[in-house]
Amino acid sequence: MNTESKQSLIKSFAGQGQDKHFEAQMVKVFKAFKEQPSTMLMISKKTGVLRANICRYVATWEKAGRIAEVKTDLCKITKFPAGYYTTDPELFPESNQVTLFEAMDTKREISPKIERNGRG
């Protein structure tokens, strides 16, 4: 095998290895948030994963509905207010957000019926 082929092979495995590394980190972080609601810094200290990576994972999971902020409280490490997150769906707070269809039903109930001739 020539040198160029070897370098190409190494590069392809390097990419896969890095992906596997980040996948393993994501699993470790996800499990840590499921064990106990925590701040991102607390999870970083517990797992050894950089906080920047955890922040990125949390943003991705929030969009997918896989993680939720359960409270804002003082971080046990910094003693400053911070969000406590969990990946345990049983601990997710109840949503008080109105869905589109609920909003439409509510609007129908409270808006007056207007006749075509313009009189109420």
Q: What is the CATH number of the domain that holds 83?
A: 1.10.10.10
Tokens representing 59 are 């943003």
Query: Is position 108 within any domain?
Result: no
Stronger pLDDT, 28 or 109, i.e. the higher one: 28
Query: How many structural domains comprise the chain?
Result: 1
Q: 81-86 and 68-74 as β-strands: parallel, antiparallel, unpaired?
A: antiparallel
| Residue 104 located in a structural domain | no
The label of the residue with tokens 């797992």 reads 47
Which contiguous run of DSSP H or E holds residue 71? strand 68-74
- Model confidence at 118, pLDDT cuts 50, 70, 90, reads low
Distance CA 66, CA 73 (A): 21
Q: Would you say residue 51 lies in a domain? A: yes
DSSP string covering 16-70, please? HHHHHHHHHHHHHHHHHHHHS-B-HHHHHHHH---HHHHHHHHHHHHHHTS-EEE
82 by DSSP, 3-state: which? strand
Per-residue pLDDT tens digits for 13-52: 345 566 888 889 999 999 999 999 999 999 999 999 999 9
**Nearest Cα to Cα of residue 82 among 39, 27, 30, 22:** 39
